[in-house]
Each structure stands twice: as structure tokens, then as C-alpha cells.
Homo-oligomer: A and B are copies of this chain.
Amino acid sequence: MSNELITKGKQAKSVSRKLSLLSSQQKNDGLTAVAEALVERENEILEANKKDLKNAKEKGITGALYDRLTLTHDRIVGIAEGLRTLINLEDPIGEVLWMKKRPNGLNLGQKRVPLGVIGIIYEARPNVTVDAFGLCFKTGNAVILRGGSEAIYANTKIVEVIQHALESVELPSNAVQLLEDTSRETATKMMQLNEYIDVLIPRGGAGLIQAVVNNSTIPVIETGVGNCHVYIDSDADINMAINVAYNAKTQRPGVCNSCESILIHKEVLDQVVPPLINKLKEKDVEIRGDEAIKKYSDTIIDASEEDWGTEYLDYIVSMKSVDSLEEAINHIDQYGTKHSEAIITNNYEKSNRFLEEVDAAAVYVNASTRFTDGFEFGFGAEIGISTQKLHARGPMGLKELTTTKYIVYGNGQIK
């Protein structure tokens, strides 16, 4: 196994014990120092980023990927601001969730503690480097980052800035470490570094997440893939239905909580489909529909079986007529990714059935799926959106980066 991995793994494990004992004040001082340093040393970071951008151009990287890789003055200020917002959030570490006296006199409590060492594997977004550090540091965790090779210059510089800033306020710089070796082989080995890493969080596209799930022997928090539906029921308020479906699809199509598929009860097709098509055309949304939907416009493309299961992350939507709530729920069960699902209805019974029977991280009645987000949910921060069921489900804030331990006060109890 690579020396770098083992060295950094050991250092992370060793420093995690120190981090777990830091006071909230110390952690906030660290965040402040880092936020200030990022802005002060902006030019160095932008210089490093230029090298990444030059390499990216040579590799033919363009469009959204190039944009995500790009740092600017405004973006660095925004990243530093993001760190500062963490300062005002309550530190979850040390909270005793409950304590009770057992019949034998033992005082038994459950206390919130850091996870220990968190590994984060992500793609070409240098802002994640700061973000992930901030969330892990605030929660007393050490973090090992493995970013994409495309961002290696910016990431290396940013981590150097963070480490230096932590040292300047006498905090352990190894709280954050970046893997310099960005090979796929080393990433795979990192996924099996159970001795030093407690939890692995992949942040990126479906391919990256799948690779981590398949290869990791470390517990993983799976994030992100969202094939989200809006189901427009026969008892829907038609205007509301059109507004919500339009918003869920077009307000920001590139994110996981955007709508990819609209299901419409057959009884309201005439009322819903024509105005909805018109509205979606305002933003040039490509519509792929079944036979019933296609009747409403020549511009609608045939939806294939594959379409129902596709997360477009683009100005494309699939649209399907359904005979009943039952069919809508079954369709979601078959093709959904258990992320965010919405029903539009004024029917009490059907709204309850949808909330009960749809198996997803977030289930909505009469609202856009776009609200599934740590900030919208009031957590003040977000490390990602879990689409699995263990540990955390839905938007993950600071609490989701913690675990608990039982603390037991006795006076000689034996069994």
C-alpha cells in the first residue's frame, strides 16, 4: 500500500483524538483563522487554480466541468463566508442526548462524539476542499481528502493555506490532509483503509459513488443520485401543479433534487399537459412522453424504458400518464432513487397514502422537490444528501457527522 496513504492515515487517526477534545471556542478560532487566510492568500490560490485551468483546457475540458473547476475572487470570498457561517452553528459535540438512572443505580447516558476520521472522495470542485474541512473540523473530526486530479494544484494550495492558518492559532494542522497521489489505484486502496478511516463520503456523480460503494470496506454514506418525480393527482390544484412541476424541473436542473419525471393522472391530462408544455418551452425543456402525453404536441419525443430511470440533470424531462395513485407509487417504487418525491393533490386520503407508501428520503405534498437541502431544512450546513437508509437519510448537516457513545457512571455495580 502507498506510503502516503499509511502515513496520512496514521496522522489522521492520531490527531482525531486531539480534535475530539477541542472546545467549541478553539474550533471556531480555527475556522476564523482559515477564513481570513483564504482571503489573504487569494492570489496564491488563484495562481494555483490557473495551472489547473491550463491543464484542463489542454485536456479539452469545457462547459460545466470547467466552470466548477474555476476559482475567482468572488468565489473565494464566498467560500470563506461559508466557513464563517459554521462558527455560529451550535457545536453538536458533547451533547448528552439523554441520561437515565437504571434500576441498579447506574447512570447511563448517550453522548454525541465525533466520528473520528472521515475520508472524502470528490471530483474537480476545489470549493469542496474548504467545505469538507470546515464541516469535519467543526464536528471534531479529522479528514483525509482525495480530490480529482484536475484540481490538484488548487487543492494542494488550499490545504497548505488551511494547515498554515491552523498552526498560526496553535491547532493541529493534520486536521486536514490531502492525498497528493490522485491515481484511481490509490483511491481504491483508500476505500479499504479501515484501520485509519471510520467513514467514507463520496461527493460527485453516479459513477464515482458506485465505485466507492462497490470497492469500499469502510462504512460509506452514499450521497446524491436523484431521479425525482412530481405526481400530479386527479385532485390537484391545476395551477399549483403546473407551477410546482415547472419549478422542480427548471429552477436548477443540474442538482440532485430537481425533478426528472412528471407523472400525471389521466383525468387531468387535458387541463395540465398543454399549459405545462407551454411553460416548459419557455426554458426549452425537451419533453419525452408516453403515448398519452405525445398526443398533445408534435415536439414530444418518445420516452424509452431507459428514460424512466434516467437522472438527466439537464433541461430534459420525462412525462407519463398514470391511471391511479397506485400506479404512480408503483412507478416511483420501480424507477425512483429514493431521494425526493412529490404529490400535488387536495385529497386528504391520497396525500396521506403518498406520504406513507413512498419510500424516499423526503416526501412532499404540494411543494417542489427542490427544497431537499440542508440549508432549506434549517440545518445551516450540508455535507451532502444521503440516499441510503443507515445512519443518515436526506440532507446531512453537522449532526450527521457525529456518532454517540454510552457513558456510564457507577459505584461498584457488578452483574
A interface residues, Cβ below 8 angstroms from B? 17, 20-21, 100, 102, 106, 108, 113, 115-116, 194, 198-199, 213-214, 217, 219-221, 237, 240, 243-244, 247-248, 251, 333, 355-357, 359-368, 370-372, 376-378, 388-391, 393-394, 403-415
Contact = CB atoms under 8 A, between A and B. Distances in A.
21 contacts: A21-B356, A21-B357, A100-B378, A108-B377, A108-B378, A213-B217, A244-B413, A355-B407, A362-B406, A362-B407, A363-B407, A365-B408, A366-B411, A367-B408, A367-B411, A371-B413, A377-B406, A393-B403, A393-B404, A393-B406, A394-B405
Most buried by B among A116, A194, A376: A376
A199 B389 contact: yes
Contact of A364 (B102, B113, B248, B410): B410
Contacts of A368: 410, 413-415
A391 B394 contact: no
Contacts of A376: 102, 415
Top 3 closest pairs, chain A to chain B, by CB: A367-B410, A247-B414, A389-B403
Contact of A406 (B370, B394, B403): B394
A313 to B, nearest CB: 16
A384 to B, nearest CB: 14
A151 B397 CA distance: 45
A141 B160 CA distance: 48
A394 B97 CA distance: 15
B406 A106 contact: no
A371 B243 contact: no
Contacts of A414: 243-244, 247-248, 251, 367-368, 370
Select the residue from A194, A244, A388, A404 with max chain B CB neighbours within 10 A: A388
B217 A415 contact: no
Contacts of A113: 359
Nearest to A344: B412
Contact of A367 (B199, B370, B412): B412
Contacts of A366: 409-413
A362 B109 CA distance: 10
A393 B371 contact: no
Interface centre among A106, A355, A360, A414 (most CB of B within 10 A): A414
Contacts of A361: 405-406
A217 B388 CA distance: 12
A214 B366 CA distance: 44
A308 B48 CA distance: 48
Given A21-B356, A390-B390, A391-B391, 9 more contacts: A17-B359, A116-B389, A214-B217, A362-B407, A367-B408, A368-B410, A368-B413, A370-B414, A390-B403
A373 to B, nearest CB: 9
A412 B237 contact: yes
Contacts of A413: 244, 366-368, 371
Given A363-B408, A367-B106, A390 B389 contact: no
Given A407-B355, A409-B365, A415 B370 contact: yes
Contacts of A365: 408-410
A352 B250 CA distance: 54
Contacts of A115: 389-390
A219 B405 CA distance: 21
Contact of A251 (B240, B247, B372, B415): B415
A247 B410 CA distance: 14
